[in-house]
Structure 1
Amino acid sequence: MDYQTFSPHPDLSSLIKCYWTLEIPKASFYPRQRIVPDGCMEMAFILEDEIKRYTSENDYILQPRSCLIGQITEPFFIEPIGFVKTFAVRFYPYGLIPFVNVSIESLTNKETPIQNIFGNDLASALEEKIIKATDTEDRIQIMDEFLLNLLHKKSTVDQIVKSAIDTLMNSRGTVTISTMIGNDKNIRRKLERKFLKTVGLSPKKLGKMIRIQTALQLFLDQKSNNLTQIAYESDYFDQSHFIKDFKEFTGLSPKQFWKDEGMLLSTLFYKNT
């Protein structure tokens, strides 16, 4: 697996975490890959053979050639059926809304063809340019230009939401909403509505995702089975709380995690975040 990340145009860097590419050679067998939530949304382009996304144990759909992948609240499975070559944009949690006119919440847990987001003519022209581009550098230039043109026509991110998310990210998901805004129920409800509109998740859910990302990165970097230490370094109160969140977002226990070949792709993403 060859996974690489690239920086966007400086004027997009507050909204886009990175561009990334993935290439996986064709093989006779691929284990299904478990994709876990990370709090980010993505626009992805499949440049070679198609990819299955399982909707149940045996049923699957083929991912669109070009699509927006909304917030993921639970793990799902994909399976390559040939040569994988993908180019994608990874948005920060609040980074997609300045570019689209659709409900962010409506994109949750699914892939939406970009034609449904940007209109058939604009989206199809972008898809053709990305697929026909000669290399990654050209694709980045095409995507920079496309997103900058959209950005100039759209509204900016709600600064209250951005500030709250920045606080969650800087604290690794440990700061509570009550700590940020107090106990006023009306203010809390207003912030939650803004989050759903901007991010597609509640503040609490996003905070848990950011927190478990910290733990997963420690887990991968240290290659340690000392769950108590990892829980402590991730600011969990105890090991059981850590294991509960770990299972919620990966579908596995920490012990199962190391043995699961289906985590190879997610592990690659996390180790290079």
Structure 2
Amino acid sequence: MQIAPPAILTSLVKHFLVLENDSPAQQHHRLSPDGHAGMVFYYKARFSAFSNTGPVHPRSFVYGQISQFHDLASGGAIGMLVVVLQPYALQTLTGILAHTFTDQLISLPDIFGAAGSQLEEKIVLAENDQQRLQLIQHFLIHKLQQHPAAGRLLTAAMAHIQQQHGLMQVGQLIQTLHISERQLERQFRAHVGLTPKQFLRTMRFQYLLKCIQQTPEASLTQLAYETGYYDQAHFIHEFKQLAGITPTQYLTQTRLLAINFMQLPA
């Protein structure tokens, strides 16, 4: 279930997600890059990394941008609330440079100390999703008042990239924003956690996934061409790098919980 944030949080939060699965059986999932960092709060069983013998996720954590797919395993009924942040919001939330979090997850108590521990405990004790959302929103509003939001340059860059669905070159972005490549790179590392080139690659991939979902009758070759993948071999190679499977397998062998979060066959 996807939930829009209140107006006061739209500069920080893209949306909230509530994900639940009551199956007690072990299941495998895969998370692909989507251009967003976020926060996760578990209130039932937790995912572990890669297999049921891998390290179990903290009860709550902040995760950074991911540059490749990540595999997860669950061994019980999962209940989690995810805060999907705006691409440039991680430093505003934490006061820490965004590239510190790239391909990492860090527990809330490790970042926010006692305030993180208290929020984590309240989420576990909350009786329903509405209570959990209220607790998290109150916490985020407080953090928004503590750290400055991303500047106009970065928000303008994001607006332009999203308008073009990532189908552009870094040079075009530099020309549009009238800044140097070094300035742009520094802003992206600090606030997004990826280089501009990496972020454009991720956004183009996300646009491709949306096109696949919205026009399932279209051929993959046609969709690849329309989303800027002009070489079939490059298209398949990049898809496998970011999703871990081929485009055909994505269509036929997965159950999507979100556009970039899939349940893999047993």
2:83 alignment counterpart: 89
2:107 to 88, 91, 113: 113
Aligned partner of 2:30 in structure 1 is: 34
The more displaced of 198-207 and 216-225 is: 216-225
Q: Output the CA distance in 1 between the equivalents of 2:201 and 2:68.
A: 12
- RMSD (Å) for aligned C-alpha atoms: 2.3
Farther-moved stretch of structure 1 (92-101 vs 235-244): 235-244
**Within the alignment, does 1:216 sit opposite 2:205 as a pair?**
no
Whole-angstrom CA distance in 2 between matches of 1:29 and 1:139: 26
Q: How far apart are 1:59 and its partner, in Å?
A: 5.6
AA aligned opposite 2:150: V
2: CA distance between counterparts of 1:226 and 1:243?
A: 14
CA shift at 1:122, angstroms? 0.5
1:68 corresponds to: 62
The whole-number CA distance in structure 1 between the counterparts of 2:53 and 2:75 is 15
User: SS in structure 2 opposite 1:78?
Assistant: strand
Q: After TM superposition, list the pairs within 5 Å mapping 1:167-246 onto structure 2.
A: 167-182=160-175, 187-224=180-217, 226-246=219-239
In the superposition, the TM-score normalised over structure 2's length comes to 0.90
**2: CA distance between counterparts of 1:167 and 1:176?**
12
Contact 2:36 2:65 in 1 (8 A): yes
Question: Which residue, out of 17, 21, 33, partners 1:20?
Answer: 17
Per the alignment, in what secondary structure is the counterpart of residue 257 of structure 2? helix
Aligned residue for 1:60, secondary structure, equals coil
User: Do the aligned partners of 1:41 and 1:96 also contact (CA within 8 Å) in 2?
Assistant: yes
Q: Among 45, 48, 57, which residue is 1:49 paired with?
A: 45
What SS does structure 1 have at the residue aligned with 2:120? helix
User: Identical aligned pairs, as a percentage?
Assistant: 29
Q: 1:268 is matched with which residue: 252, 257, 262?
A: 257
Deviations 1:94-152 (A, max 9, x none): 12221212221111112110112112x10011111212112111111111111111111
Q: Does 1:247 align with 2:243?
A: no
Aligned residues of 1:68 and 1:114 also touching (Cα < 8 A): yes
Cα deviation code 1:164-205 (max 9, x no counterpart) = 12111110001222112239xx81012111101100000111
For 1:76 and 1:86, locate their aligned partners in 2 and report how far apart those are by CA, in whole Å.
Answer: 17
Segments of 5+ residues of structure 2 without an aligned counterpart are 262-266
Corresponding position of 1:160: 153
Helix, strand or coil: the match of 1:152? helix
After superposing on structure 2, the runs of 4+ consecutive aligned residues of structure 1 that deviate more than 6 Å are none
TM-score by length of 1: 0.88
- Deviation at 1:225? 6.5
Residue 268 of structure 1 aligns to a residue whose secondary structure is strand
Return 156-165 or 37-46, whichever deviates more.
Answer: 156-165
The answer (yes or no) to whether the contact 1:133–1:139 under 8 Å persists in 2 is yes
Count of equivalent residues: 261
Aligned mates of 1:59, 1:158 — CA distance in 2: 43
Tell me, in whole angstroms, the C-alpha distance in 2 between the residues paired with 1:103 and 1:53.
Answer: 24
Residue aligned with 2:200, SS: helix
CA distance in 2, matches of 1:222, 1:247: 21
Report the Cα distance in structure 1 between the residues aligned to 2:48 and 2:192, rounded to whole angstroms.
Answer: 26
